[in-house]
Amino acid sequence: MVSEVSRRALAAFALTTAGLAAGAGTASAKELVFWSMWNEPEPQAAALRKIMDNYTKANPDVTFKVVWNGRQNQTKLRGALQAGTQVDFMDQDSDQLAGGLQKEGLAYDLSADLDADAKGAFLPGVLDVYADAGKYYQVPYVYNTVNFWYNKDMMKEAGGSVPQTFDELLALCGAVKNAGKQALVIEGNVAFYNILYFANHLERAKGSGALIKAFEDRSGAGWSDPAVLEAAKASRALWDAGCFADDARGFQYPAGQQTIALGDTMGELVGSWLPTELAESAGKDFPWGAFNFPTVKGGAGKATDLQVGLLSFIVLKDSPNAKEAAGFLKYVMSEEAQKILVEDAGVGVTRKGVEWPAVLGDAYQSASAATALSPFGGGLNVAYPDFTSQVLNPEYNKMFLGETTPEQFVETLVAKTKEFWAANK
């Protein structure tokens, strides 16, 4: 139940924040239709329901009708929109929205609804990741970082420390192997996880957004940069250094990550959802730590640059209640609402100063100190999803698993990029 202090705070927030609840003080009631990527039994759904209930208690003229669709939310919503169903706002993985409803021009421009204070509430770079020509169409609210997630006790027992350079990462692999364990694990069948090694190495060498820059050279020559071949070779060097067990090539998700919970492997390069996925099998006392992808020699990228997996809301462009929905999303970014997401859903959030669950403490520090952000896997999947899924990811995985060479991988990217742009003039 909302306390009187909380009720007053919410009411004051609604009255003093421009555009927070358009129509406040009038008799006109608004029911906002929200389609969600969560399933109703999930803790994230319960947290959002609490946030909506709190908002309605402070703003009785605004109520919510929710459809809990699960992860296929955007796909289901497209069909509903075509059938004339009214939806005011929805949520989904930010990458999917950027390449989907936002790219298709179906998202409401929130720029005028986000004043300087609202924009300044976000952690570094978050609001700008999916901005388009200076306009904002998404309100990111859940924050996943891409880090090496690892067992702190295992690193300590191996006499290792958090690597600052890629060479130090290879040395750490050797130390853990000498202690009778494996340093890292992969899921052999999950190419979009495995390519994180290549994408992060290339961004450390060339800076954030390096994959997109390479691909957008329509001659294909962008992939001929020596840093691309070096990033591919670095992926194979991880195998040579004994970072992975040989049988990891055959792991089918989630077999690989389970080896971390079982104490056979130190860690994995993946999103910050890993501790949640392994909570039951690893146990509540598992000593989780996280560190950023290390720097590479002579690289332009910084160790504080991050790849991220955000979850966002968008307001539908044709919503008759767009202003009211935008107002609610500003409340979702309030300290009170963001704390509900942390405490009840156990997720990282996008507001500055709201600490994440203790198990994600290292990730929160990474997010707070981030110098540049790019989408999961470097962002090529957002701008050019077909090329990423049909060429980049599968060709990389073949090379990574030893079926082709780094040189062949680069040659294929050059040729397929030329073909792509010739067909898409």
Which domains are assigned to the chain? 4-141+310-371 (3.40.190.10), 145-306+375-423 (3.40.190.10)
Averaged over 230-234, what is the pLDDT?
Answer: 98
Query: What are the residues whose beta carbons fall under 8 Å from the beta carbon of 12, sequence distance 6 or more?
Result: none
The predicted model gives 249-261 an average pLDDT of 97
> Does residue 1 have a pLDDT over 70?
no
Burial code (b: 16+ CB inside 10 Å, e: under 16) for 94-108 equals bbbbbbbbbeeebbb
Asked whether residue 3 carries a pLDDT value surpassing 70, the answer given is no
The whole-number pLDDT of residue 71 equals: 97
CA distance 354 to 343: 11
Over residues 194-200, mean pLDDT = 98
Amino acid at 384: Y
Check residue 47 and give its pLDDT.
98
* β-pair type (305-315, 372-375): parallel
pTM as predicted:
0.92
Q: CA 41, CA 90: separation in Å to the nearest integer? A: 18
Compute the average pLDDT of residues 3-13: 43
The answer on pLDDT for 214 being more than 70 is yes
pLDDT more than 90, % of the chain:
93
Is residue 131 over pLDDT 60? yes
Q: How far is CA 5 from CA 12, 58, 277, 387, in A?
A: 11, 11, 36, 53
Residue 151 is predicted with a pLDDT of: 98
4 — pLDDT class (breaks 50, 70, 90):
very low
Q: Quick one: average pLDDT of 240-252?
A: 96
Number of C-beta neighbours around residue 294 at 10 A: 21
